[in-house]
């Protein structure tokens, strides 16, 4: 099956309903990245699809691991 | 013959081959039955499809429920790419939003959706409790919930019979996927137990067919 070309458009309407899954804080868009308001986890947008997986997010400066981030900023116990 | 114990399968269908193989199977009839049940339960408004897979259900729902919108999430990027093509081809881009997220850690505020549904995903998840808690958390009070899944047959003979009956015309890979899914599923009694443990006591369990069951709550 031939692959159709993908645009890299991310629909900004999604931002109204999305939160960071770890902190449950709002997200703001910075280019091809969604940044959590609390803590600043950075989620990539790849091929126009937002990847809201904590394991795929870039950690903010000074935080060594996702576990350490969850302990400091997490709204829920680590999954 | 001994009773069949639960045997997990991989949580993510993220190889291109598995995603394509799953997409090639004809799920039209079960999907139509699923959407029919959603409508009976009063599905409306902003909806969430957890584990949207190749995106058949959001497209069908948009065709049958006026004014709704659907957010579809899946852990598999490959599935989401297939879903996006399907949504575009159906002209539903404006009403269906897709993103890569984990059912156990949903990126939404509490009570964000009027309707939350999930079709044949639960058996992919080793511990169903975080999944159920999250689905319930993002549903608004009084909203519609429909979580349908396969249920595990009593024994190996019953499983083989279901595979022959419902996947007899499929290729060997597709038959294997179906058999593994049946083997990984909960029984209705197990689902009742975990639903109660997660506080979903106002949801009923319905055995729908020889292989499907639903955990559901109608619109109030």
Give A4's pLDDT tier (boundaries 50, 70, 90).
Answer: very low
- Provide the chain B residues 113-142 that lie in CB contact (below 8 A) with chain A: 130
A62–chain B nearest CA distance, Å: 24
Say which CATH class B16-151+186-217 falls into. Answer: alpha beta
pLDDT at B11 over 70: no
Is B12's Cβ below 8 Å from some Cβ in A?
no
Higher per-residue pLDDT: B15 or B208: B208
pLDDT at A77 over 60: no
Mean pLDDT, chain B, rounded, equals 92
CB contact under 8 A, B100 and A51: yes
Find the angle CA(A27)-CA(A31)-CA(A34) to the nearest 5 degrees. 20
Is A14's Cβ below 8 Å from some Cβ in B?
yes
β B113-119/B139-150 pair status:
parallel
Look up residue B201 and give its two tokens. Answer: 């006591």
Contact B43, B146 (CB under 8 A): yes
Give A10's pLDDT tier (boundaries 50, 70, 90).
Answer: low
CB contact under 8 A, B109 and A22: no
| Domain residue spans of chain B | 16-151+186-217
Residue linked to tokens 């055995």: B207
CB contact under 8 A, B80 and A17: no
Contacts of B130 (CB under 8 A, 6+ apart): A79, B103, B104, B105
Contacts of B43 (CB under 8 A, 6+ apart): B61, B65, B68, B114, B115, B117, B144, B146, B219
A interface test, pick of B105, B129, B137 with most A CB neighbours within 10 Å: B105
Cβ–Cβ pairs < 8 A, chains A and B: 64
Is B42's Cβ below 8 Å from some Cβ in A?
no
Residue linked to tokens 């069949």: B4
Give A79's pLDDT tier (boundaries 50, 70, 90).
Answer: very low
Is A20's Cβ below 8 Å from some Cβ in B?
yes
CB contact under 8 A, B81 and A51: no
pLDDT at B24 over 90: no
Q: For residue range B71-122, what is the model confidence (pLDDT) as tens digits?
A: 999 999 889 999 999 999 999 988 999 999 999 999 999 999 999 999 999 9
Nearest to B107 among A4, A11, A19 (CB): A19
pLDDT at A5 over 70: no
Look up residue B156 and give its two tokens. Answer: 């190996």
pLDDT at B20 over 90: no
Give B22's pLDDT tier (boundaries 50, 70, 90).
Answer: low
Report the distance separating Cα B218 and Cα B220, nearest Å: 6
Is B71's Cβ below 8 Å from some Cβ in A?
yes
B205–chain A nearest CA distance, Å: 26
CB contact under 8 A, A17 and B71: yes
Q: How many helices (H) and strands (E) does chain B have?
A: 8, 7
pLDDT at B123 over 90: yes
Check residue B174 and give its pLDDT. 86
């Amino acid at each position: 099956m031939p692959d159709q070309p993908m645009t890299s458009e991310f629909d900004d309407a999604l931002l109204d309903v999305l939160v960071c899954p770890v902190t449950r804080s709002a997200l703001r868009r910075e280019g091809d990245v969604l940044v959590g308001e609390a803590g600043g986890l950075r989620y990539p947008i790849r091929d126009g699809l937002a990847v809201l997986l904590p394991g795929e997010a870039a950690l903010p400066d000074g935080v060594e691991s996702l576990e350490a981030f969850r302990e400091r900023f997490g709204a829920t116990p680590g999954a | 013959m001994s009773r069949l114990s639960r045997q997990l399968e991989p949580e993510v269908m993220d190889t291109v081959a598995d995603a394509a193989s799953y997409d090639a199977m004809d799920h039209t009839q079960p999907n139509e039955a699923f959407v029919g049940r959603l409508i009976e339960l009063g599905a409306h408004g902003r909806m969430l499809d957890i584990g949207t897979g190749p995106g058949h259900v959001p497209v069908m729902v948009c065709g049958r429920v006026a004014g709704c919108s659907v957010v579809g999430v899946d852990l598999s990027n490959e599935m989401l790419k297939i879903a996006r093509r399907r949504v575009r081809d159906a002209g539903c881009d404006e009403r269906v939003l897709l993103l890569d997220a984990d059912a156990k850690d949903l990126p939404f505020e509490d009570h964000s959706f009027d309707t939350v549904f999930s079709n044949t995903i639960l058996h992919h998840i080793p511990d169903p409790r975080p999944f159920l808690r999250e689905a319930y958390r993002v549903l608004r009070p009084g909203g519609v919930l429909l979580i349908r899944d396969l249920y595990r047959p009593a024994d190996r003979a019953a499983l083989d019979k279901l595979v022959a009956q419902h996947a007899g015309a499929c290729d060997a890979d597709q038959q294997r996927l179906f058999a593994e899914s049946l083997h990984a599923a909960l029984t209705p009694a197990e689902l009742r137990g975990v639903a109660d443990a997660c506080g979903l006591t106002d949801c009923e369990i319905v055995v729908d067919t020889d292989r499907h069951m639903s955990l559901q709550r109608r619109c109030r």
